Amino acid sequence: MHRNEPPSLSEISPHLPGRLEVAGHDLTLYEDSDSLIAAMVDDIRAAKRRVWMESYIFTADAAGLAVAEALAERAVAGVDVRLMVDAWGSFSTRTALFNRLRAAGVKVHVFHALGEAIFHRLKFLQVLNQRNHRKLLVIDEGIAYFGGMNIVDQSGIHSKADAKQRHLPASAGWRDVHVRLVGPAQAEIAASVAWLWKRAHRQRRPKQRPWDVQSILQTAHDAIYFFDSRPRFKFRRPHRLLIPLIRQARHEVTLAMAYFVPTGGILRELLKARKRGVRVQIIVPGRSDVRAVQWATRHVYEFLIKRGIRIYERKDRMLHSKVLVVDGQWSVIGSCNLDARSLRWNLECFALVRSSHLARTLASICQQEIRDSRRISAAQCRRRSWWQRLLNRTAWSMRNWL
């Protein structure tokens, strides 16, 4: 693949990511996209056999062009390179970029494009509504990436002023969590990527089995488990894990969530946890990139606060994390938000990790988010105008479709 100018990575990566060992795996945590993209590019360029990537959003900015250049380079070298992007998430990315990748030998698939929805006719709305929200990268037999970050250049944006200077939304410079994993559990992520690729190309694939959540939650030693949720299968929806995980909480539940519109069993379990004395903290963006979701979230603030749940809104930068920490032992990291779209419609992938070391690390990240947040009070909720209350209520009434 050729361009007039190579992508600039000069802004990528000032700070070192956190590294730790869990259950025989080497994990590297990234909180910003700059160092993550640099690490991905290095790993892709070193690949010998395969590079499989899924990304909800794949942009043609400095980050996307750097990754695309590395993918094309490996494809030309004979490596099995696959890229799956979501048609809706990557709608604004010009097809020319993907065509250049195809010309270099990269196998590119656009998930649930309009043409595919038309082909299904009777399932048109169902196909169009289901998105591939996963953010995964598999390299050879040892390395995998998972978490909440898309292939988007967020480098050098630390405030609203920085975003304005780059002509980006005020919520740019997203705060997020992504993980680089080296170890045997990489095979689980690779199997998930392979399964979805076969499904997208109408090839035979293994039968899906229910998650054995009860035995997993009885684990007494450090371990890593991966869950690829597919709402079509009721036994593989995120709430199958999240409800029993919250139900067993005894001390603390901390959520850092980009899109938090709790409904049904998850909302009930959070309330039950607080009622039995569990400290529940929820961190959400103070200025979301999806305003309707934020309105719906704010509709339940007063209800939650009156029942003892602490709500924090992250200031200045957009919080895009999907992190849950329970009792300093269990952690959930991945692409799954606590909203109807992630819980009922989208394809997601997330990890459940039993490790006090990782839990402490993520709790520390969440505490930093809290320090950069404002705590919401019931009095603040009551001071909202009637117009804002109406907007919030209307958005909440549409929560299953946001």
- Indicate whether 194 and 215 sit together in one domain: no
Please report whether residue 105 resides in a domain: yes
- Indicate whether 257 and 360 sit together in one domain: yes
pLDDT tens per residue, range 69-87: 999 999 999 999 999 999 9
Please report whether residue 109 resides in a domain: yes
| Residue finishing a domain among 168, 199, 230 | 199
- Indicate whether 214 and 155 sit together in one domain: no
d(CA 333, CA 352): 7
| % of the chain with per-residue pLDDT over 70 | 90
> pLDDT category, 193, cuts 50, 70, 90?
very high
- Indicate whether 226 and 367 sit together in one domain: yes
Please report whether residue 12 resides in a domain: no
pLDDT for residue 356 is more than 90: yes
- Indicate whether 150 and 298 sit together in one domain: no
Q: Is the pTM of this model over 0.75?
A: yes
pLDDT tens per residue, range 289-327: 999 999 999 999 999 999 999 999 999 889 999 999 999
pLDDT tens per residue, range 103-160: 999 999 999 887 665 666 556 667 667 899 999 999 999 999 999 999 999 887 777 6
Please report whether residue 10 resides in a domain: no
pLDDT of amino acid 161: 74
Q: How far is CA 19 from CA 166, 181, 182, 239, in A?
A: 31, 10, 11, 29
- Indicate whether 150 and 218 sit together in one domain: no
Residue-averaged pLDDT of the chain? 90
Please report whether residue 9 resides in a domain: no
Query: Closest Cα partner for 60 from 150, 161, 147, 167?
Result: 150
> pLDDT category, 278, cuts 50, 70, 90?
very high
- Indicate whether 35 and 165 sit together in one domain: yes
- Indicate whether 131 and 263 sit together in one domain: no
- Indicate whether 182 and 216 sit together in one domain: no
- Indicate whether 252 and 132 sit together in one domain: no
CATH at residue 235: 3.30.870.10
Please report whether residue 387 resides in a domain: yes
Q: CB burial class (10 A; 0-12, 13-18, 19+) of residue 92?
A: exposed
Please report whether residue 319 resides in a domain: yes
Please report whether residue 5 resides in a domain: no
- Indicate whether 306 and 385 sit together in one domain: yes
d(CA 182, CA 143): 5
- Indicate whether 275 and 246 sit together in one domain: yes
Residue span of the structural domain in which 48 resides: 18-199
Mean pLDDT of 354-368: 96
d(CA 339, CA 154): 24
pLDDT tens per residue, range 19-56: 899 999 999 999 988 899 999 999 999 999 999 999 99
pLDDT of amino acid 8: 34
Kind plus residue range of the DSSP H or E element containing 107 = strand 107-111
Q: CB burial class (10 A; 0-12, 13-18, 19+) of residue 11?
A: middle
Number of domains in the chain: 2
| Residue finishing a domain among 199, 223, 254 | 199
| Residue finishing a domain among 145, 178, 199 | 199
